[in-house]
Amino acid sequence: MKTLKLSLRKIVSYLNNPDEDGGFWLPNIQRPFVWSEDQICRLFDSILRQYPISTLLIWKTKMGVRRRKFIDNFKEENRNHLSNFKVPDDENKKCLVLDGQQRLQSLYIALRGSYDGKELYLDILSGELAAPDDVRYKFKFLDPQAAIFPHIRFKDIVFCDDPRREIEERIAAQSTTVLSRTQMDRIRDHVDLILTTFLREDGVGYQELDSIEQPKLYREDDVVEIFIRANSGGTRLGKSDLLFSLLTSAWDEADDKMEILLDELNMQGFAFTRDFILKTCLTLLGQGARYEVEKFRKAGVRGDIEGKWDNIIAATKDVADFVQGSTFIRCDKALPSYLVLIPLVYLRYHFPAAWNTKKDVELYLLRSLLAGAFGGTPDQLIDDIVNKMKEINRFDLNEMFGVIRSAGRSLELTEDRFWAIGYGSENIHLLFNLWYRDFNYTPAFASNLPQIDHVFPQSALKQVKVSNPNTGKLNIMKYREGDRNQLANCMLLTAAENGAGGKSDTPPDEWFKDKDAAYLARHLIPPDPALWKLDRYEDFIAARKKLIKDKFAYLLTVPAKKEVAVDSGNSTPPNQVAPNAVTIAGKRDAEVIKEDPKRFEIRKHFWTGLLEEAKQHTRLFYDVTPGNFGWIGAGAGKTGLTFCFAIREHYAQVEIYIDRRKNSDKENKNIFCQLYADKDAIEKAFGDSLEWQKLEDKRACRIRKVISIGGYRDEAKWPAIYTAASETMARFEKALKPFVAKLQI
């Protein structure tokens, strides 16, 4: 295996170009391009910051391997239509990219093409010093007709061979104002940096598997195996991508067949994926739902999929047609987990007569989806359900629900769980499909889909202020995100109703004033106009909650005295126990403490407000969702180290929690001691003292700062807690991160 190097500009010229060493192409086993505009922009920021680009892996061959070209002008609607980019098979020399597709495709789009009609521009005056995880060089995809200075089309610099001074002068001439010396220096520095970076001969390295010189060493099967090993160690490819690479290596038409099937399934507004189809294939053929590469290496499995493909897709289409035509589920957004359908496909495939006489399937879907029974990793649950079907040769609702409950998964929709549904939650479209059955969920154009809107506009609610307990000024937002986005403030409107000239930010007292009783009844709006005023928002919510509860009372269940807790999305730190959990024999050894269930709702409400405030101070918690435990965390950049907010009844704290999990006691203490050695420097950077808790009798350690203003029982003080905790976390993160980065682990 040879290791070669090229400049970044040169390697882009190799893509789709048979005159450059046969050209670089994408083999059929590669998945579609998945990067977003933002990811491409961050790649170019990393390149200009001289961050290394991982080595590529290339296969040089003359074999007639199926391949496709790199996309120049990328369009979102064609992301999965790989057949549009196929290249005719031939036995000429060619280089196929086994690892590095996303990076090379990003380079090609940015430097030779466009992304949804927009081209890559650089803010030529950007470049301020930034933290490693922040953006320094500001790239953006813009419409060439609308781009103005200081945004400069990046490819115009990279591929320009004019003297650098001429390039700099042309860029400066685009400014409509006189540039300062500092700005001119920045332009010169950036032009020099760009050309140096993209013309440097060692800009990118690639390892080459040469089947032309060594045809016996690298055969096609060997290359597929290398491809799998190269991609299975990280997150670049999912297991379904790896399994599909094995399938396509044995079945030439696999990608075409899959593309046709997905197009047909998704014509009615759904979003079935290759992942779903492969998991369904494994289940139908008795291999179990779990992804394992070894299953596709078993003798006969790939051949079975090819040979039984027509029957598999017939069963899948029948189930999709049934769901779309005979249930309350009419669109992708109303199906939070497609995996709930796999047992139904199994029934249709193996027991077609029982499929024709099935009963209660709609109730199975409703209960399972609303309760999140197929959340997380339900592979074992799918296997258990199909094994029960195999045993009884039919679909029996009570038997299915019995299997789900035996797996420790809840089917109960308690009031707490029901009212957790709101704007942006994964189940709100499911509930609204059930609520608004007469809406058109499959219009010809996606822009005409029904839209969820706030009854009381967010803009109006954000203007309502309460007194700041620290200053007495009316500058604290009264209605936080959770208050504004709750179910009782949501309604479904047609695209026409919510479009130009429609409701938009119209307050309810204006929107509803000319609506008839049938309209109000459809949306479950309290008929008293006095409740439609902004100052009666809380009374409106209470009245509408009663109407909604009456409509869906048949769904709600009274919680049992003991119920297995459902994970809110935040895993529990070691030595802490999930609230309201029940001990499961053989699975949990820690003592379980039963808490007041009301704490769930209170804490989730608290976290919703805190996260909204925290985003104004730190990027740590941008992707964190509010849970109902006593803490929320975000990774600190090292495995086992977590920046956390924690909330108690009457105080809060920020902390870094150190726990690398099972049998890590000594390692955790070592990490703590390394940080403690820099205690003075850390506290100086933080601007205050910290509590250093080695926790000798525990596996974990922590460093924390307590905020004594109040806790989740002190709701009147929440705004002040939000501000203090967020500001403290920002200082805490800034002080600790440099020392975490240099840890010897």
Which of 75-79, 92-96, 196-200 has the weakest average pLDDT? Answer: 75-79
pTM, to two decimals: 0.53
Structure confidence at residue 238 (pLDDT):
47
Structure confidence at residue 598 (pLDDT):
63
Structure confidence at residue 639 (pLDDT):
82
> 194 near 126, Cβ under 8 Å?
no
Report whether pLDDT(341) > 50. yes
Q: How confident is residue 442, by pLDDT bands cut at 50, 70 and 90?
A: low
The dihedral of CA 209, 214, 220, 224: what is its sign?
negative
Structure confidence at residue 561 (pLDDT):
39
The 10s digit of each residue's pLDDT in 235-251 is: 334 455 556 665 665 67
Please tell me the distance from the alpha carbon of residue 739 to that of residue 682, in angstroms, as a whole number.
Answer: 8
Over range 157-164, report the average pLDDT: 94
Report whether pLDDT(83) > 70. yes
Top pLDDT among 215 and 279 is at: 279
Across 295-304, 354-363, 572-581, which has the greatest mean pLDDT? 354-363
Please tell me the distance from the alpha carbon of residue 36 to that of residue 498, in angstroms, as a whole number.
Answer: 28
Structure confidence at residue 573 (pLDDT):
44
The 10s digit of each residue's pLDDT in 664-687 is: 888 899 999 999 999 999 999 998
Q: Give start and end residues of each alpha helix (H) in 152-300.
A: 154-158, 164-173, 181-199, 220-232, 239-250, 254-265, 274-284, 293-297
**Strands, DSSP E only, in 76-117?**
86-87, 94-99, 114-115
Buried-state track 49-58, b at ≥16 Cβ within 10 A, e below 16: eeeebeebbb
| Assigned token pair, 414 | 């308690």
DSSP one-letter code for 489: G
Report whether pLDDT(296) > 80. no
Of the candidates 497, 701, 499, 479, which has an alpha carbon nearest to the alpha carbon of residue 605? 479
Q: How confident is residue 378, by pLDDT bands cut at 50, 70 and 90?
A: confident
The 10s digit of each residue's pLDDT in 31-66 is: 788 889 999 999 999 999 888 777 788 888 888 777
Neighbour count for residue 551 (Cβ, 10 Å): 12
Which of 171-180, 254-263, 273-282 has the weakest average pLDDT? Answer: 254-263
Report whether pLDDT(427) > 90. no
Over range 444-469, report the average pLDDT: 83
Over range 470-487, report the average pLDDT: 87
DSSP H or E run through 693:
strand 691-693
Structure confidence at residue 475 (pLDDT):
82
Over range 256-276, report the average pLDDT: 85
Query: Which residues are registered as beta bridge partners of 205?
Result: 5
Report whether pLDDT(118) > 90. yes
| Assigned token pair, 347 | 């029934």
Please tell me the distance from the alpha carbon of residue 310 to that of residue 319, in angstroms, as a whole number.
Answer: 14
The 10s digit of each residue's pLDDT in 618-657 is: 888 877 778 777 888 888 888 889 999 999 888 899 999 9
Structure confidence at residue 370 (pLDDT):
87
Structure confidence at residue 438 (pLDDT):
74
Report whether pLDDT(507) > 70. yes
The 10s digit of each residue's pLDDT in 385-417 is: 999 999 999 999 989 998 998 887 878 778 888
Structure confidence at residue 1 (pLDDT):
62
Per DSSP, the three-state class of 39 is helix
Over range 411-437, report the average pLDDT: 85
Structure confidence at residue 407 (pLDDT):
82
Whole-number Cα distances in Å, 56 to 63, 100, 420? 21, 5, 46
Structure confidence at residue 542 (pLDDT):
95
Q: What is the mean pLDDT of the chain?
A: 83
Structure confidence at residue 484 (pLDDT):
92
Report whether pLDDT(585) > 50. no
Over range 80-99, report the average pLDDT: 85
Top pLDDT among 463 and 53 is at: 463
Q: How confident is residue 559, by pLDDT bands cut at 50, 70 and 90?
A: very low
